[in-house]
A and B are shown apart, each in its own frame.
Chain A
Amino acid sequence: MIEIAARQSQLEQTVSKLTGLTLTILIFGLIVFIAFTLAERTGERVQRFLKYLVFLLPALLFLFIGLVAPAFRTLFLSFRDARGDDSVGWENYYWAFTQPEILDVLRNTGIWMVVAPVASTGFGLLIAVLTDRMRRPGLVKSLIFMPMAISFVGAGIIWKFVYQFQPNERVPEIGLLSQLAEWLGFVPSNWLLVTPLNTLLLIVVFVWIQTGFAMVVLSAAIKAIPDEILEASMLDGASGWKRFAKVTVPMIRGTIIVVLSTITIGALKVFDIIRTMTGGNFKTSVIANEMYNQSFRALNYGTGSALAIILFLGVLPLVAYNVIHLRRERSER
């Protein structure tokens, strides 16, 4: 009976969700349609003002309500208590930089910021160079690129299975890493519990995903190096390694920096991998995860906001660099 009732309500839910979805899209389409039809009937004078209202205002409103205003509100909340009622001065920041657990979090975030971008970009560059002269690099590149389509949660499960450890010695290992360790003559351990190895193992998951990104962007940059330069270095008798170090890398330096900074920003904000694989336990937590915990588990908006601001300050130099880079690029055009 219960089974049938449950199935019935499930069916009802499915139908109501699908109708809700269809209605939403229809209503949204209708609004856009009506706005356009009406706007096209107005005269030129009205349109001079109306065009901003229709084209620009919705985006600006969303950006303001969703990103700009909240950023200031978060800054404000970071100086308030848990519920945002009273001012506490710099206490939340003081807390962040003195609590031993949070210091661990900051240290881990630092490790992420350094290791993850360097490793991803390094692997990406290596594969880009290796496949550059391959006759059919399509499949190889697709396989390395594929993890980019996989969610951090999915990747977390994939790798958690690789790291799986069997405490009972009489039962064979089912995790690939444990088995490899055994084959090589080591004693496997419960990998995700060992600090600081566990943080590095989590970074592996991130690198596994981001390498594809680095490879694609760097590969395109290498392809854009003029053939004449390559030929000239050939005629000068430069060896493969020398050509790579003295010609290829300097030619694509700008792209390498963009890739590094993009991945650094991603590494700073990593959340899903930590949440899925360790839940931030065993000293693996990072700022983004701790920010979530403080805000929505401990329900302390003050400390949560302070952590968000610290995260933002970490990203800020990279944002500034990117803006300057884009400025230069646009003025060159």
Chain B
Amino acid sequence: MALRSRKREVEAVKTHLSSPWASFAAILIATIWTIPTFGLFVTSFRPSTGINGSGWWTVFTNPEFTFTNYTRVLFEGRGATPPLSQYFLNTFAIVIPSTIIPITIAMFAAYAIAWFDFKGRNFLFFTIFALQVIPLQMSLIPLLQLFSGGLHIGSVTVIPSFGITGTFIPIWLAHTMFGLPLAIFLLHNFIAQLPRELIEAARVDGADHFKLFRQIILPLSIPAIASFAIFQFLWTWNDLLVALTFGGGKREIAPLMVRLAEMTGTRGGDWELLTAGAFVSILVPVAVFFALQRYFVRGLLAGSVKG
């Protein structure tokens, strides 16, 4: 009872502090923050003559809308260039394995680092934490050489090249490698906090590490997995550098971002296609983000410095 009234008191203080000016300023900033995106959104529905003839803000007095930009950019290819829907598919083909594989491998490692007793456990944890921040630029050239030529010492082939250049595999592998440090770090923080009694009880009951992981750790870790899954999903969906480097310049496997970056370079003036294309690429991550914002914020607060 006392606690509740005290809480109410604090609440009263807070309300007292909330000035209408602060709220007004916050709303104003949020509006300014949204205007550029809104402008893109409106523009993507305007006919090209309108886009190039007048500012998008004139639609309020002179509305004129069309879906043509979307159908054109999504379904009409140009010469050897496929339409954007193909790149959309490529993005999915890249994102799904690039999210599932690192999460699985990171879950194993996070569990091992949290609950196995071995020498150098702490050292390993801090090394992985530090690896998070190492710029992936440090890996680009050697990895590309490895994927295209394999690894040779003198004339001895240690790792063959497998001929995977030009497929999705190098991109999947690169995303897995670059995503692992953050994944292990976030998942470890979560798994290490699970109650010791729970794990020891299961061990006493005769569960080995494999069973324990499958039946107890995995189900309990779903919130942490969701947090990281959103990170990795957004990161791989929005990535340009990895796809550009490991895609080998092949159109057949290039994702949306590569195509959009290319479009801004070569067709910088085609705003009707660029705005529609950009909006298509933004739609999925923003939807995922709004649907799962809670998990995303939780992951962010758990510590996030991504390479």
Chain A interfacial positions (CB closer than 8 Å to B): 6, 10, 13-14, 17-18, 20-21, 24-25, 28, 32, 36, 39-40, 44, 47, 51-52, 54-56, 58-60, 62-63, 65-71, 73-74, 77, 123, 126-127, 129-131, 133-135, 137, 139-140, 142-154, 156-162, 164, 171-176, 179, 208, 211, 213, 216-217, 220, 227, 230-231, 234, 240, 261-262, 265, 268-269, 271-272, 275-277, 279, 288, 291-292, 295-296, 301, 304-305, 307-309, 311-312, 315, 318-319, 322-323, 326-327
Count B-side interface residues using an 8 Å CB cutoff. 119
Considering the complex, give the chain A residue whose CB is closest to the CB of B137: A308
Q: A55-B116, A151-B240, A208-B36 are in contact. Are A301 and B30 (CB under 8 A)?
A: no
| Nearest Cβ on chain B to A54's Cβ, whole angstroms | 7
**Across the interface, do A65 and B55 meet the contact criterion of CB distance under 8 Å?**
no
On chain B, the residues within 8 Å of A326 by CB distance are 126, 129, 303
Q: How far is the CA of A265 from the CA of B90 in the complex (A)?
A: 29
On chain A, the residues within 8 Å of B22 by CB distance are 129-130, 133-134
On chain A, the residues within 8 Å of B252 by CB distance are 13
The B interface, classified by DSSP as helix, strand, loop or mixed, is helix
On chain B, the residues within 8 Å of A135 by CB distance are 15, 18, 23
Q: A10-B82, A157-B275 are in contact. Are A311 and B105 (CB under 8 A)?
A: no
On chain A, the residues within 8 Å of B29 by CB distance are 123, 126-127, 130, 140, 144
- Residue pairs across A and B with Cβ atoms less than 8 A apart, 15 shown, are A13-B252, A32-B104, A54-B108, A63-B177, A67-B178, A70-B139, A73-B142, A127-B26, A134-B23, A149-B285, A161-B275, A164-B271, A174-B51, A301-B141, A322-B305
On chain A, the residues within 8 Å of B274 by CB distance are 157, 161
Q: A6-B77, A55-B111, A153-B257 are in contact. Are A17 and B93 (CB under 8 A)?
A: yes
The B21-61 residues at the A interface (CB cut-off 8 A) are 22-23, 25-27, 29-31, 33-37, 39-40, 43, 51-57
Considering the complex, give the chain A residue whose CB is closest to the CB of B304: A262
On chain B, the residues within 8 Å of A312 by CB distance are 134-135, 137-138
**Across the interface, do A67 and B177 meet the contact criterion of CB distance under 8 Å?**
yes
Q: How far is the CA of A27 from the CA of B112 in the complex (A)?
A: 24
Q: How far is the CA of A245 from the CA of B244 in the complex (A)?
A: 46
On chain A, the residues within 8 Å of B166 by CB distance are none
**Across the interface, do A162 and B39 meet the contact criterion of CB distance under 8 Å?**
yes
Q: How far is the CA of A299 from the CA of B142 in the complex (A)?
A: 13
On chain B, the residues within 8 Å of A144 by CB distance are 29-30, 33
Q: How far is the CA of A18 from the CA of B96 in the complex (A)?
A: 11
**Across the interface, do B139 and A63 meet the contact criterion of CB distance under 8 Å?**
no
**Is B216 close to A, CB under 8 A?**
no
Chain B interfacial positions (CB closer than 8 Å to A): 10, 13-15, 17-19, 22-23, 25-27, 29-31, 33-37, 39-40, 43, 51-57, 77, 82, 86, 89-90, 92-93, 96-97, 100-101, 104-106, 108-109, 111-113, 116, 118, 126, 128-131, 133-143, 146, 168, 172-174, 176-178, 180-181, 184, 208-211, 213-214, 234, 237-241, 244-245, 252, 257, 260-261, 264-265, 268, 271, 274-275, 277-278, 281-282, 285-286, 288-290, 293, 297, 300-301, 303-305, 307
Q: How far is the CA of A315 from the CA of B43 in the complex (A)?
A: 39
| Nearest Cβ on chain B to A65's Cβ, whole angstroms | 7
Q: A154-B281, A157-B40 are in contact. Are A323 and B93 (CB under 8 A)?
A: no
| Nearest Cβ on chain B to A125's Cβ, whole angstroms | 12
| Nearest Cβ on chain A to B199's Cβ, whole angstroms | 14
On chain A, the residues within 8 Å of B141 by CB distance are 70, 73-74, 77, 295, 301, 304-305, 308
Q: A62-B176, A140-B30, A269-B135 are in contact. Are A150 and B286 (CB under 8 A)?
A: yes
**Across the interface, do B77 and A51 meet the contact criterion of CB distance under 8 Å?**
no
Contact among B54, B108, B142 for A77, CB-based, below 8 A: B142
**Across the interface, do B260 and A157 meet the contact criterion of CB distance under 8 Å?**
yes
User: What are the 5 tightest A-B residue pairs by CB atom distance, in nearest-first order?
Assistant: A66-B177, A151-B238, A59-B109, A149-B289, A70-B142
On chain B, the residues within 8 Å of A55 by CB distance are 108-109, 111-112, 116, 209, 213
Contact among A18, A66, A176, A275 for B240, CB-based, below 8 A: A275
Contact among B13, B89, B106, B130 for A319, CB-based, below 8 A: B130
**Across the interface, do B238 and A152 meet the contact criterion of CB distance under 8 Å?**
yes
